[in-house]
Structure 1
């Protein structure tokens, strides 16, 4: 018996129903890199189910989203999400040393 095709990809399911943290609805659709980073930071710090540090959990969710949606994102959207990574590093005091 063939498997019924899911209407939703597994990566979207991870984004929507992560067992590690509860994300604000539409977090990755926001236009501001700062707002995306702030929302991920808040979610990761409030989660009691994550297995890694809040920084690692937040960065992991953002990276997962970028990697899974990457080829379908516009250049400007991808640039915003990449800036969100930099904002996350700032929020957690993990800026690269120069």
Structure 2
């Protein structure tokens, strides 16, 4: 089966072609949690296809990416993404998790 590319994972397809948010390319690889949160906020607020609030849509996509990346996500990038959750909460004026 030479010449065949590896099958794409459904989670990669959702991240790249989700129907609710138009994400900027490679947003989850940024090293600044605030830039990630700002990009997600902008995408969520601009979307007319989302089914829930902009905050919930943005947070859901971020959590989805973290969970789907699993062990393939290095510890430093996981920490950046976890801090992006706090930034997202602050941008939407939501109370931080206790």
- TM-score over 0.5 (shorter chain): yes
Alignment partners' CA distance in 1, 2:64 and 2:97: 25
SS in 1 for 2:19: coil
Q: CA RMSD in A?
A: 1.8
Q: Give the corresponding residue for 1:28.
A: 28
> Following TM superposition, by how much is the alpha carbon of 1:70 offset from its aligned partner in structure 2, in angstroms?
2.2
Gap runs ≥5 in structure 1:
none
> Following TM superposition, by how much is the alpha carbon of 1:6 offset from its aligned partner in structure 2, in angstroms?
6.2
Q: Give the corresponding residue for 1:55.
A: 55
Aligned length: 95
Q: Give the corresponding residue for 2:15.
A: 15
Calculate the TM-score normalised by the size of structure 2: 0.90
Alignment partners' CA distance in 1, 2:74 and 2:65: 14
Change (3 A) 1:97 1:78: closer
Listed as ranges, the matches of 1:27-46 within 5 Å are: 27-46=27-46
> Following TM superposition, by how much is the alpha carbon of 1:71 offset from its aligned partner in structure 2, in angstroms?
1.1
- Which range moves more in the overlay, 6-15 or 43-52? 6-15
Alignment partners' CA distance in 2, 1:43 and 1:72: 25
Is the counterpart of residue 95 in structure 1 residue 95 in structure 2?
Answer: yes
Calculate the TM-score normalised by the size of structure 1: 0.90
Q: Which runs of 4+ in 1 moved over 3 A?
A: none
